[in-house]
């Protein structure tokens, strides 16, 4: 999974990226200090892995990973090359979802590029840049399809659709809010790789004092929550500065630090939860003496396709899957114990894998 972090300059975007990835992107109180997109790979927190790893005395424990791309602070006119815009917009096209960091804190020491705190205005600024960038893509595609539309019925249908998408964007709406009418439209939309078609998670960056109540009393957070709900987007509340402090601590210290703040999970855990939910993802597990590992798949994936995540041969030669829920396995104290209680099941090609399944695949190539 690849997530692109965007936001206006000085909203806490690079601070958040640094704390999530410990990759050390330069963070300074002026725009464009992040010239190249910084890339950091983060392991997905999953306590099930540690428990299973201990259970099997695994030599190796391998969590799922998320790749974060930190895109330099966008400003008005980015799509027209203002600031360092265009090259950054190109970098976002490769991601699965966009994490949009929005400033919801007041601090006179940190200048806001527009002079005041207004998250909805900031969101609109970024969204317009994404829309303008997408319109350029559409115009190029329209020019290409127009040439064949006179002689080709399919091309003519696609041209109508392209014009519909263009009108939608020109009305200031994101492509993701369009209702697609049939499979053809879904297939075409998937090939355009529009920025405004990507799902968005809003990270409301607040001051420390607003963390404990999850921004309930912060009017800026409330405004973003309402907007996110209307857009079918996810939102989570974060304090980038606190995340930076947390990133320096080991696991036990982290837990105590969060408890002192009245929190049960870190910003990274909130972000992982939001992104898995938004993208319809979950994890199944494989475990044994050699390795315990988490594998990320789409919700609704059947057993052979899940096996294919491990190796294409597993999918090609799939025979069956031995499945047990990780909690049942731990509660029984051994695999044999779980099997005696009838908790280890043999599943075939139509089995839909569930979150937390521990699976042993049987295959023959």
Q: Does the annotation place 13 within a ligand binding site?
A: yes
Q: What's the rounded Cα separation, in Å, for the pair 316 and 363?
A: 8
| Residue in the structure block whose two tokens are 């304090």 | 239
Taken as a whole, the chain contains a residue count of: 365
Q: Does the annotation place 15 within a ligand binding site?
A: yes
Closest by CA position to 130, among listed 162, 161, 163, 176: 176
Asked if 297 contacts 305 with a C-beta cutoff of 8 angstroms, the reply is yes
Secondary structure (DSSP) of 23-65: ------SSTT---SPEEEEEEPP-HHHHHHHHHHT-SEEE--E
Q: How far lies 73's CA from each of 165, 220, 242, in Å?
A: 27, 20, 21
Q: Does the annotation place 172 within a ligand binding site?
A: no
Q: Does the annotation place 11 within a ligand binding site?
A: yes
Q: Does the annotation place 10 within a ligand binding site?
A: yes
Q: What's the rounded Cα separation, in Å, for the pair 113 and 215?
A: 23
Query: Are β-strands 60-62 and 200-205 bridged in parallel, bridged antiparallel, or unpaired?
Result: unpaired
Sign of CA dihedral 136, 137, 140, 146: negative
| Residues 6 or more apart in contact with residue 104 via CB below 8 angstroms | 117, 119, 204, 205, 206, 210, 215, 218, 220, 221, 224, 237
Q: Does the annotation place 91 within a ligand binding site?
A: no
Could you list the residues known to form a binding site, using ranges: 10-15
Could you list the residues known to form a binding site for ATP, using ranges: 10-15
């Amino acid at each position: 999974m690849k997530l692109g972090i965007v936001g206006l300059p000085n909203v806490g975007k690079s601070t958040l990226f640094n704390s999530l990835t410990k990759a050390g992107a330069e963070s300074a109180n002026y725009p464009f200090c992040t010239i190249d997109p910084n890339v950091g790979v983060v392991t997905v927190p999953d306590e099930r892995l540690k428990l299973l790893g201990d259970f099997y005395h695994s030599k190796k424990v391998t969590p799922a990973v998320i790749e974060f791309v930190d895109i330099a602070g966008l400003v008005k006119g980015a799509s027209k090359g203002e600031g360092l815009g265009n090259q950054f917009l190109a970098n976002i096209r490769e991601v699965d979802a966009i994490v949009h960091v929005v400033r919801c804190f007041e601090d006179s020491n940190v200048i806001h590029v527009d002079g005041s705190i207004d998250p909805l205005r900031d969101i609109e600024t970024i969204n317009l840049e994404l829309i303008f960038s997408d319109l350029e893509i559409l115009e190029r595609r329209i020019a290409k399809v127009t040439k064949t539309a006179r002689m080709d019925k399919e091309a003519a249908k696609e041209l109508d659709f392209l014009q519909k998408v263009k009108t939608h964007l020109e009305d200031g709406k994101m492509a993701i809010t369009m209702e697609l009418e049939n499979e053809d439209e879904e297939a075409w939309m998937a090939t355009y790789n529009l920025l405004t078609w990507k799902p968005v998670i809003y990270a409301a960056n607040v001051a420390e004092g607003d963390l404990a109540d999850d921004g309930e009393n912060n009017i800026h957070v409330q405004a973003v929550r309402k907007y996110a709900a209307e857009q079918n987007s996810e939102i989570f509340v974060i304090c980038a500065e606190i995340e930076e402090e947390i990133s320096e601590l080991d696991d036990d210290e982290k837990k105590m630090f969060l408890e002192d703040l009245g929190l049960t999970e870190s910003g990274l855990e909130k972000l992982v939860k939001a992104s898995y939910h938004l993208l319809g993802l979950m994890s199944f597990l494989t475990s044994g003496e050699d390795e315990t590992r988490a594998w990320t798949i789409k919700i609704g994936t059947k057993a052979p396709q899940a096996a294919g995540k491990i190796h294409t041969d597993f999918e090609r030669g799939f025979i069956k899957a031995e499945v047990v829920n990780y909690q049942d396995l731990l509660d029984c104290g051994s695999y044999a114990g779980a099997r005696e209680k009838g908790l280890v099941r043999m599943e075939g090609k139509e089995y839909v894998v569930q979150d937390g399944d521990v699976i042993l695949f049987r295959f023959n190539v």
